[in-house]
Structure 1
Amino acid sequence: MARLAIRCVFATCLFSPVFSLPEACTGICTNSHDPSIIVRPDGTYFRFSTGGRIATHTAPAITGPWKYQGPALPNGSTIKLRGNQDLWAPDASQVDGVYYLYYSVSTFGSQNSAIGLARSTTLDAGTWTDLGSTGLTSDASKPYNAIDSSLIIINGMRLLTFGSFWNGLHQISMDTPPVRVESGAQPRQLSYDRSDKAEEGPILFADGGYYYLFFSKGSCCGYDRNRPAVGREYRIMVCRSTTPTGGFVDKSGVACTSGGGALVLGSHEWVYGPGGQGVYRDSFHGPVLYYHYVDTRVGFADRQKRFGWNKLDFLDGWPAIITSLSTV
């Protein structure tokens, strides 16, 4: 998943991963918590992110320069839950010529959550119509938390993958068009770590006959107030399966539902706590992993989180970041 370097201290040598630094980003590269990237046919890149009623940025390339365009939902969400004016974890998709923007309504540490949806024909700020709840909600009676959703369409199936903490990551089938949960559909568990429940932000990506489940693990936020133990901060993990609906395992064959997960990207040099990731196939760069992180040379506050990205290769059937000479 990453190159290994040998680090020796007092004649004791350890293998530690060496990751490439993020590729170049210009313009507004902060305001990027939980980014979602989508490219319009005219070549305009859109970046949606948590906060500011879904902050919207655009650029002519993934490298930037990124410009702020305003909130996607200036009036917040119509979902009647706390947090409906502070929307989380957007996910942008195009389905049959229409753009859908899934988002989460919740508060930190709460299971009283819902996944909502907005719709647009252009992606531009000010053009989104809020459709409210998708019908996927959670409370203390549910074995999941209904946040951090992402859509994938495979062989006619419209699958929404979601989840955070509690009993891990789940998936549910959506109707056609994917504005509501399919009638009678029940969530199925894709990943769970009984000893460390800090898993969230799942996204599926298909390549070479496999479906890759990327997810964030560890403590995501508030690093300026209380940093977790070393190695417990946000990091990006992956499992894979030959089907998009289950059977995900890591590189050692450990089931994702039994704590499995292979490390794709962790803290390194001045990059700390990378996560909130997405993966897509760029027309110029090929497969791309993007995420937020904090730059330790600048500060650890949530508002200082930056947008990062790297090119991916799938070596021996597993994703690895491609080493580049360019850095931010």
Structure 2
Amino acid sequence: MPHPDLEQATLQRELAPAETSADPATWGARHAHDPTVVRDDDGTYFMFSTDAVANSQDIPSGVHIRRSPDLVQWTYAGTAFDGVPTAAAEWSGARGLWAPEVVRWPGGGWHMYYSASTFGSNTSAIGLAVAPAPDGPWEDRGIVVATRAGEQTQNAIDAAVTFGRDGQPWLTYGSFFSGIYTLPLDRTSGAPVRAGDLGTCIARRPVSVDRAIEGAFILYRPEEDRYVLFCSYDSLFDTYNMRVAVAEHITGPYRDVRGTSLTEPAAPPALAGTKVLGSYRFSGGTGWLAPGHNSVLAQPGPEGTTEHFVVHHVRFADDPSQHVVQVRRMFFNAAGWPLVSPQPYAGRASEVLPAPVPVDGRWQVLRFDPESTDVVEAVSRQVGSRQDRAAPDSVPGEPERLALLVQDPDGGTVELDAVVFPSWDWAGNRAALSFSGIDPHGVVWSGTREDS
């Protein structure tokens, strides 16, 4: 039987309302864009997101906050501010706030970097607020980075903070226009080290694809002593997809699995950046459209490990006007590349396999072609491994790094540098084995084992 909480989570994710409710208490994880999630000292999770919905007069503005005990069920908890802070409103003309980034600050307390702008304009501002706890009270400290149309090429929205290998905080930001930038922050105040600094460009896309890159997040990985850049390509309305690249230094250069730099102007725009998640549908399941603008939650895992979750928004393929936040487990393969679960997270208790499951068998498989923005339909394929071994049979259970062999459309096999792990199969309503891996051409494949 499913975990009791799972039935409610299933309804939240699978049933799209006919129209947007003006009552935030009914939202759950719905009507949230550009999410970030943090964990407080007592284990409570807080989600911060762009004000919804389309700055409607019926919807409060000032950064929406949600609370969860388990990363599955979310309860609306109000706003951080009573509207848009004065300085940000006067600079940008914004009616709501976008893409808040919240981090625990060294020495105590929390910092929030919020964005104020209007759609399609780079007259924008990133503001800073501080609080003793994630649920506030939040005190505005004013604008820390600002851009103006006709004066700067950057767009000061979509902030993300990374603490580098030496503990130095960096602010990464940018949306369309001239790309993604990063700059150092003062370790105490959280303001730019150099007033007026707009940073170094670390990723960009050409005019031929409308310069469509945004929603960046950088994770420092001490295991490989390198930085992992996540960003979203294309349109948030229907073609969003998540890309990754890595660098030895936070200022780049960032290169994908194929070695292509994200600042290389001659690179094919659809191929630069390794695509780790796009639109897809499993057989019998909900079609998920345009996943993107992700952040990463890292927290202590079992036996001294660190576990990672990708947090992003996504639309319903059958009704793109509806969107929801999803949390997915993220792993790193043998080469140290991030891989995202094809199944949204359902909670630890729900992902326990009743018995060991062999890798060899039929799987519902997705191939995330970087040159396509279509919804990928899962295909039944034979999957095996170079080792004859069972996958983890319990959660938290260790994921297995395996060399997987996937049957390709021509009858041959494709070898993947993959991770196999327990998950919840939302279409099949059961605990199941899933995988994600990268082939020799730098293409990501994911899948869930069929019931046998």
* TM-score of the two chains, using structure 1 as the length reference: 0.83
1:210 and 2:226 correspond: yes
Distance 1:165 1:25, change over 3 A: farther
Q: For 2:424, what is the secondary structure of its paired residue? A: coil
Q: Which residue of 2 aligns with 1:85?
A: 95
Q: Which residue of 2 aligns with 1:6?
A: none
Residue 35 of structure 1, CA deviation: 0.4
After superposition, residues 1-328 of structure 1 pair within 5 angstroms as 28-51=28-51, 52-63=61-72, 65-78=73-86, 79=88, 80-96=90-106, 97-124=108-135, 127-154=137-164, 155-183=166-194, 185-194=197-206, 195-196=208-209, 197-207=211-221, 208=223, 209-221=225-237, 233-258=239-264, 259=269, 260-269=272-281, 270-284=287-301, 286-297=307-318, 299-301=319-321, 304-315=322-333, 316-322=335-341, 324-328=422-426
The separation in 2 between residues aligned to 1:268 and 1:182, in whole angstroms, is 42
**1:82-111: CA deviation from partner (whole Å, max 9, x where unpaired):** 444300001000112111111111000001
The separation in 2 between residues aligned to 1:283 and 1:306, in whole angstroms, is 26
Distance 1:283 1:24, change over 3 A: farther
Aligned residues: 291
Structure possessing the higher radius of gyration over alpha carbons: 2
**1:217-260: CA deviation from partner (whole Å, max 9, x where unpaired):** 11013xxxxx5xxxxx1010011011112111011101010252
Tell me, yes or no, if the aligned pair for 1:76 and 1:84 is still in contact at 8 Å: yes
Residue 314 of structure 1, CA deviation: 1.2
Tell me, yes or no, if the aligned pair for 1:152 and 1:159 is still in contact at 8 Å: yes
The separation in 2 between residues aligned to 1:24 and 1:290, in whole angstroms, is 17
Q: For 1:130, what is the secondary structure of its paired residue? A: strand
The percentage of counterpart residues that share the same residue type is 29
Tell me, yes or no, if the aligned pair for 2:212 and 2:233 is still in contact at 8 Å: yes
The separation in 2 between residues aligned to 1:176 and 1:24, in whole angstroms, is 42
The separation in 1 between residues aligned to 2:217 and 2:93, in whole angstroms, is 23
Residue 171 of structure 1, CA deviation: 0.7
**1:40-76: CA deviation from partner (whole Å, max 9, x where unpaired):** 011010000001321100011112x211010111232
Q: Aligned letter for 2:31?
A: N
Q: Aligned letter for 2:125?
A: A
The separation in 2 between residues aligned to 1:131 and 1:327, in whole angstroms, is 45
The separation in 2 between residues aligned to 1:283 and 1:89, in whole angstroms, is 25
The separation in 2 between residues aligned to 1:326 and 1:71, in whole angstroms, is 32
**1:115-144: CA deviation from partner (whole Å, max 9, x where unpaired):** 01111001115x111112014434322121
* TM-score of the two chains, using structure 2 as the length reference: 0.61
Tell me, yes or no, if the aligned pair for 2:163 and 2:220 is still in contact at 8 Å: no
Distance 1:24 1:133, change over 3 A: farther
The separation in 1 between residues aligned to 2:96 and 2:191, in whole angstroms, is 22
The separation in 2 between residues aligned to 1:286 and 1:24, in whole angstroms, is 23
Q: For 1:292, what is the secondary structure of its paired residue? A: strand
Q: For 2:33, what is the secondary structure of its paired residue? A: coil
Greater share of residues in helix: 2
Q: Aligned letter for 1:34?
A: D
Distance 1:313 1:200, change over 3 A: same
Residue 24 of structure 1, CA deviation: 6.7
Q: What 5-or-longer segments of structure 1 have no aligned partner?
A: 1-22, 222-226, 228-232
Q: What 5-or-longer segments of structure 2 have no aligned partner?
A: 1-8, 13-26, 52-60, 282-286, 343-421, 427-452
Tell me, yes or no, if the aligned pair for 2:117 and 2:123 is still in contact at 8 Å: yes
Distance 1:94 1:25, change over 3 A: farther
The separation in 1 between residues aligned to 2:235 and 2:11, in whole angstroms, is 25
Deviates more, 1:152-161 or 1:284-293: 284-293
Residue 177 of structure 1, CA deviation: 2.2
Higher RCO (CA-CA < 8 Å; seq separation 6+):
1
